[in-house]
Structure 1
Amino acid sequence: MQDSRQFVPELVALAHKQEGGRTQLLAPCPGLWREMPEEGALVRAQGQIGWIEVLGVMHRLRAPAGASGVVGGSSGDDRARRPVEYGQALLCLDPEGLAGSSSASVEAGAEVGSDGGSLSFTAPSSGRFYRRPAPDKPNFVEVGQTISRGQTLGLLEVMKTFTRVNYDDPRLPSPAKVVEIVAEDQGDLDQGDAILRVEPA
């Protein structure tokens, strides 16, 4: 069976290390930046930090690998569509905020499960969740499976485009054992909803 799903193009922000371990993320190209994260939000490595519209085409914008932290500063422009140039500063990530926000971690994907032992990996944005890459393909992960950092857990559909949901929360264990899959296949999720629960492998 042919898979007719359309996958959205992606761009990765540039990174500039600053004093104190902070990382400044820069625009990888000129365009219109949309849906930027708010100050205080957690950004995961390779996590989404909005969209960049380039010549009318929407590109999902991701943080680079190795860049994670709490949004500590931006340009202060709160417009829904912010014009940016190549190399323009978008926001600053403070890694020290990770430890300080560990107790309030629903958005970060480290919510403690109802059994008091497992941890939840949560949806990075709202959308429809798919457990398999195509209707005739097996699920990305199953209960009892051991997963590691960067592994694909499913697909998230937003406006008829699909993006991979990767196990990328720096505060969840790796490797980890999947103890429960909470999200239903083709079920609608809001940002912060649990996708699955894990425990250290």
Structure 2
Amino acid sequence: MKRAQVDGRLFTPELVARLERDGTALVLRSPAVGLWRGAPAAGSMVSPGGLVGELEILGVLHRLRAPDDAGGVVLERPGPAAARRAVAYDDELLRLDPEAGPARAGVGEGGGVAQAEAGGLVFRSPLSGRFYVRPAPGQEAFVKAGDVIEVGRTVALLEVMKTFNRVAYGGEGLPSSARVLEVVPADEADVDEDDVLLRVEPV
């Protein structure tokens, strides 16, 4: 599988799933033709703007994200269970229950950007880019040491190829509520995928 390359650096392009409302459920649909993989399991939590797998298009991997106004617990996925599933434009990928939260679902947020490590819990970067701790110069930071945060809260922006990506707290193994012990990168520092962004503890 190939990843896009610009100025000699590899990066993973991103797409946003199409959103449709069906009664109380939110339906995420494919934005393109390709092979979909890494889908979140039924019962897992998807946050607004969170990762819902990768879409391989002509051999190039694209991260696939939920729209910023869509989140909830994954209901049973349509179609066959497979490591990679061929999808057409507008095929249904996931159904979400927006009323169910992580406490009711008994799971953490999807996306795979949060992990435990020796000595504490950490929240890791989902991609490489420039880290911004505040929405604009002169404004308050999204989070700081001592803040109590919940799943879905924006903790930073990552600039990738002049596009700002919102990073929301949550992930497997992390509590739904946590206290920030440390914001690790300096504001406007360059970070790599899987670098530690926050050190946290359960509330």
Residue of structure 2 equivalent to 1:10? 14
- Identity rate, percent: 34
Distance verdict in 2 for CA 1:102–1:70, change over 3 Å: closer
**Secondary structure in 1 aligned to 2:32?**
coil
Distance verdict in 2 for CA 1:107–1:181, change over 3 Å: farther
Deviation at 1:40, TM superposition (A): 0.9
Q: State how 1:54-69 maps to structure 2 within 5 Å.
A: 54-69=57-72
RMSD: 4.3
TM-score (norm 1): 0.61
TM-score (norm 2): 0.61
Is structure 2 residue 179 aligned with structure 1 residue 180? no
Deviation at 1:104, TM superposition (A): 5.1
Please give the alpha-carbon distance, in whole angstroms, between the structure 2 residues aligned to 1:11 and 1:155: 15
Residue of structure 2 equivalent to 1:140? 132
Matched positions, count: 166
Please give the alpha-carbon distance, in whole angstroms, between the structure 2 residues aligned to 1:150 and 1:23: 21
Please give the alpha-carbon distance, in whole angstroms, between the structure 1 residues aligned to 2:97 and 2:58: 32
Give the conservation status (yes or no) of the 8 Å contact 2:123–2:169: no
Deviation at 1:46, TM superposition (A): 1.1
Deviation beyond 6 Å, 4+ runs, structure 1? 108-111, 170-173, 183-188
Consecutive unaligned residues in structure 1, runs of 5 or more:
112-119, 134-138, 157-162
Residue of 60, 73, 81 corresponding to 2:84: 81
Give the conservation status (yes or no) of the 8 Å contact 2:43–2:105: no
Deviation at 1:182, TM superposition (A): 5.8
Give the conservation status (yes or no) of the 8 Å contact 1:153–1:166: yes
Please give the alpha-carbon distance, in whole angstroms, between the structure 1 residues aligned to 2:72 and 2:132: 27
Consecutive unaligned residues in structure 2, runs of 5 or more:
1-6, 116-120, 135-139, 144-152
**Secondary structure in 1 aligned to 2:73?**
strand
Give the conservation status (yes or no) of the 8 Å contact 2:18–2:30: yes
Residue of structure 1 equivalent to 2:95? 92
Q: State how 1:107-126 maps to structure 2 within 5 Å.
A: 122-123=123-124
Residue of 33, 48, 52 corresponding to 1:49: 52
Deviation at 1:195, TM superposition (A): 3.0
Distance verdict in 2 for CA 1:147–1:182, change over 3 Å: same
Deviation at 1:55, TM superposition (A): 1.2
Give the conservation status (yes or no) of the 8 Å contact 1:11–1:60: yes
Q: Alpha-carbon deviations, 1:83-130, whole Å to 9, x = none? A: 00111100101112216437754768999xxxxxxxx783486xxx76
